[in-house]
Amino acid sequence: MTNILELPETEIVPLRELDATVKVVGSKSYTNRFLAIAGLCHEQTVLRNALHSQDTILLAEALRAFGHVDVDLDAESATITVTPLGRPMRAPETAIDMGNAGTPIRFLITMAALAEGRTVLTGNTRMRERPMGHLLDALNTLGVDARAVHGNGSPPIEIPGSALVGGSTRIDGTVSSQFTSSLLISAPVTEKGVQLEVVGDLVSKPYVDMTIAALRQTGIAVGRREFSTFTVDGGQRYRGGEIAVEPDASGMSYFLAAAAVLGGRVTIPGIGPGSHQGDVGLVKAFVDMGCTATSDTDGITVTGGPLTGIDIDMGDMPDVAPTLAVVAAFARGRTHITGIGNLRVKECDRIDAVATELGKMGVTVDTTQDTMTVHGGTEPRGAVIDTYDDHRIAMAFAVAGLRTPGVVIREPGCVVKSFPNFWEVFQGLRGNG
Ligand SMILES: O=C(O)C1=C[C@@H](OP(=O)(O)O)[C@@H](O)[C@H](O)C1
Ligand SMILES: C=C(OP(=O)(O)O)C(=O)O
C-alpha cells in the first residue's frame, strides 16, 4: 500500500456519503503536559492512549537527553512509560533540536533552568522565528538568565543550570498561553514556589485550564484568580501512576468538519462534555452554522445540515480556526473569525496560508492582522494546496477535497507533527460510510 506520508502530493477523492465513527489519536496537549510532568516526578508514570507523533517524540527524546529518566515509547499500544533513574536532571552537552515543536520547547525552557548545567534549545527554521521573549522576560525576573542566543526572542535559547528557585513574576499573555503553562508546570518543584501574574489579555485560555487540570490530577495544589494570578507553592511532589489521555480535540475537528461539509454524520468516542480541551468549542460553532450535535458518554456526534456563515471569536480555540475557515467556504454567507492574531506565529502564518489556499479554490477571504472573513456561497473549485510544513493546513484542506473534486494536498507527510496516522483514518471514512 502507498504510504501517503512519503508522497510529494496526494489527491483527495470526493466522498458522497458519510456515516462514521472515528477513533482519533490521544491529545497532543495532554501528552506534552503529562510527559513534562513525568519528567519532574520521582515516581514512574504510565500514559495510556498517549500521542506518538513527531512533537511528543521530540519531547520524550529531550527528556531522555537530560539523563534523569528513561522514556519508553510503545506506539503499538499507544503507551509511554517514564521511569525516574534516581539521577539529577543534567543538561546535555550539545544543543537539543526541538524541530518545530512549539509547546515542548516552551515547556522545556523553564524545566531546563532546574537542571544542572547550561542547556541550549533550538529548532528548525520556522522555530527560529517563533516568539519566546515573554517567557524569557518572566524567567529573567525570577533571576534565571535565560536568553535568545541571537537576541531576537527566538531559539536558539540558552538557559543556565540550577537557576530556578521560584519567586514572583509577571507573564505577558497576549502571544501564547504556552508561556504561562510552562511556568506553572515547573513551579511546584521549585524551592520557593511561583506567584504568577498574567498581564494583557491571555490568549488560548483553555490550554491553561488543561495545565491546571493536569497538575491537580498529579497531586499538585494550584491557587488561581481566574486567568490573572496563579499561586503554586514550592517543594511539592508530582504523583506518578497510570494516566489515560483523552482523544485529541484538534485532531477530531477534521472529521467533524467532514460531517459538516458533506451533510453526513461522524461520532468521536471517548471525548465529551467534561473535556477541558477548548477545541471542543468547535462543535457549538458548527451547530451555530446549521449542524446538529450531541455530546454525551458515547462521545461527540456531529450531523451536517445546510450551512450558514457566523461571527465567531476563536481566541479560545486557535488550532481549529483553519478547520472552521474551510467549512465556512461551503456555507452560505460570510464567516467572520476574530481573536486569532497568534495564528500568524504558529507553524506558518495560518491567516495568510488559509487566505491564499482558499483563494486558489475561488473563495474570497479578507484578512487583517488578527481576523479572517471567509465569503461563502460560491461552490469552491479544485486546486493544488500548498501546506507550508503545517499539519493543520494539510488536514483542514483535505476536508475540502471530500466535497470538491480536484483538491490535491502537497507534502501530506507534514501531518506527522500531531497526527501520524491521519491519512489512514481519513481513508477509513470511505470504508465506513
Ligand atoms: O498548550 C498547548 O498545548 C497549546 C497551546 C496553544 O498555543 P498558544 O497558547 O501559543 O496559542 C496551541 O496553539 C498549541 O497547539 C498547543
Ligand atoms: C500550534 C501548534 O503547535 P505548537 O505551538 O505546539 O508547535 C499546533 O499544533 O497547531
> CB within 8 A of 86, min separation 6: which ones?
none
Do residues 81 and 71 make contact, with C-beta atoms less than 8 angstroms apart?
A: yes
Nearest alpha carbon, ligand 2 atom 3 = 102
- Same domain for 93 and 42, yes or no, is yes
Distance, CA of 385 to CA of 410 (rounded, Å):
6
Look at residue 366 and tell me whether its pLDDT is greater than 70: yes
Q: Are residues 258 and 220 in the same domain?
A: no
**What is the C-alpha to C-alpha distance for residues 396 and 398, in angstroms, rounded to an integer?**
5
Read off the pLDDT of residues 140-183 as tens digits, 9 standing for 90 and up.
999 999 999 999 999 999 999 999 999 999 999 999 999 999 99
Q: Span 80-97, mean pLDDT?
A: 98
110 assigned to some structural domain: yes
Atom of ligand 2 nearest to the CA of 32: 6
CA–CA gap between residue 124 and residue 156 (Å, rounded)? 10
Domain boundary among 232, 263, 283: 232
**Inside any domain, residue 364:** yes
Q: What is the CA radius of gyration of the chain?
A: 21
At residue 213, what are phi and psi to the nearest 5 degrees? -60, -40
Question: Is pLDDT of 405 > 80?
Answer: yes
The interaxial angle of helices 249-262 and 321-328, nearest 10 deg, is: 0
User: Would the pLDDT of 243 be above 70?
Assistant: yes
User: DSSP states of 293-307 as a string?
Assistant: EEEETTEEEEE----
Three-class SS state of 90: strand
Average pLDDT over the chain, rounded to whole? 97
pLDDT in tens, 324-361: 999 999 999 999 999 999 999 999 999 999 999 999 99
Angle formed at CA 247 by CA 245 and CA 249, multiple of 5 degrees = 125
How deeply is 115 buried, as exposed, middle or buried, from its count of CB atoms within 10 A (0-12, 13-18, 19+)? Answer: buried
Residues 104 and 179 in one domain: yes
Examine residue 237 and state whether it is found in any structural domain, yes or no. no
Atom 8 of ligand 2: nearest residue by CA position: 319
Same domain, 283 and 177: no
Report the pLDDT averaged over residues 391-401: 99
Instruction: Let me know whether 63 and 15 are in one domain.
Output: no
Confidence of residue 49 (pLDDT cuts 50, 70, 90): very high
Predicted ipTM? 0.99
- For residue 97, being part of any structural domain is answered with yes
pLDDT-derived band at 293, boundaries 50, 70, 90: very high
Query: Based on the domain organization, do 156 and 276 belong to the same domain?
Result: no
Same domain, 22 and 38: no
* pLDDT tens digits, 260-274: 999 999 999 999 988
Please check the confidence at residue 432 and state whether its pLDDT lies above 50.
Answer: no
**What's the number of CA atoms in the CB half-sphere (13 Å) around residue 384?**
4
Cell numbers linked to 214: 493536569
**pLDDT higher than threshold 90 for residue 278:** yes
* Coil vs helix vs strand at 241: strand
* CA–CA separation, 394 and 219 (whole Å): 38
Q: What's the CA-to-centroid distance between 370 and ligand 2, angstroms?
A: 17
Ligand 2 centre to CA of 342 (Å) is 11
Q: Which ligand is nearest to the CA of 131?
A: 1
Ligand number nearest to the C-alpha of 393: 2
Quick check: CB of 204 below 6 Å from ligand 1? Answer: yes
CATH number at residue 70: 3.65.10.10
d(CA 269, CA 25) in angstroms, rounded, equals 11
Q: How far apart are CA 277 and CA 369, in angstroms?
A: 26
Please tell me whether 87 is known to bind a ligand.
no
- 346 C-alpha vs ligand 2 centroid, how far in Å? 6
pLDDT digits (tens, 9 = 90+) for 10-47: 999 999 999 999 999 999 999 999 999 999 999 999 99
The region, left, alpha or beta by phi > 0 then psi within -120 to 50, assigned to residue 67 is: left
Residue 8 lies in a domain: yes
Choose one of 232, 259, 293: the last residue of a domain: 232
- Whether the predicted pLDDT of 433 surpasses 80: no
CA of 103 from ligand 1 middle (Å) equals 6
pLDDT at 212 over 90: yes
Q: Is the CB of 322 under 6 A from ligand 2?
A: no
pLDDT at 205: 98
CB of 351 closer than 6 A to ligand 2?
A: no
User: Is ligand 2 within 6 A of the CB of residue 177?
Assistant: no
Q: What is the mean pLDDT of residues 104-129?
A: 98
- Contact residues for 23 (Cβ-Cβ < 8 A; gap 6+): 247, 268, 269, 270, 425
Crossing angle for the helix pair 102-112 and 28-38, nearest 10 degrees?
20
pLDDT number for residue 431: 79
Consult the annotation and say whether 102 binds a ligand: yes
Counting the structural domains of the chain, the total is: 2
Full strand arrangement of the beta sheet holding 69-74:
69-74, 79-84, 45-48, 241-244
| Whether residue 87 is found in the same domain as residue 63 | yes
241 occurs within a structural domain: no
Q: Are 107 and 182 in contact (CB under 8 A)?
A: yes
Residue 319 CB less than 6 A away from ligand 1: yes
Residue nearest to atom 2 of ligand 2 (CA): 346
Q: Are 150 and 156 in contact (CB under 8 A)?
A: yes
Q: For the beta carbon of residue 258, count every other beta carbon within 10 angstroms.
A: 28
The x, y and z cell numbers of residue 39, run together, are: 519528567
Domain termination site, one of 187, 205, 232: 232
Q: Which ligand is nearest to the CA of 277?
A: 1
Residues 142 and 113 in one domain: yes
91 assigned to some structural domain? yes
> Closest-lying ligand to the alpha carbon of 198?
1
**84 and 227 housed in the same domain:** yes
Q: Does 142 share its domain with 225?
A: yes
Q: Is beta strand 9-12 parallel, antiparallel or unpaired with respect to 407-410?
A: antiparallel
Lookup result for grid cell 552537552? 93
Cβ(177) to ligand 1 under 6 A? yes
Q: Is 418 in the pocket of ligand 1 (CB under 6 A)?
A: no
Residue 242 lies in a domain: no
Ligand 2 pocket member 350 (CB < 6 A): no
- Quote the pTM value: 0.98
Establish whether 172 is an annotated binding residue. Answer: no
pLDDT at residue 1, as a whole number: 67
User: Catalytic amino acids?
Assistant: 319
Atom of ligand 1 nearest to the CA of 175: 10
- Rounded to a whole number of angstroms, the distance between the first and last alpha carbons of the chain is 21
Query: Which residue range forms the structural domain that includes residue 340?
Result: 4-26+249-431
Is 283 in the same domain as 183?
no
Q: Which of 207, 227, 313, 314 to mutate to test the pocket of ligand 1 (most atoms within 8 A of CB)?
A: 207
Best probe residue, ligand 2, of 53, 177, 204, 346 (max atoms within 8 Å of C-beta) = 346
Residue 207 vs residue 272, higher pLDDT:
207
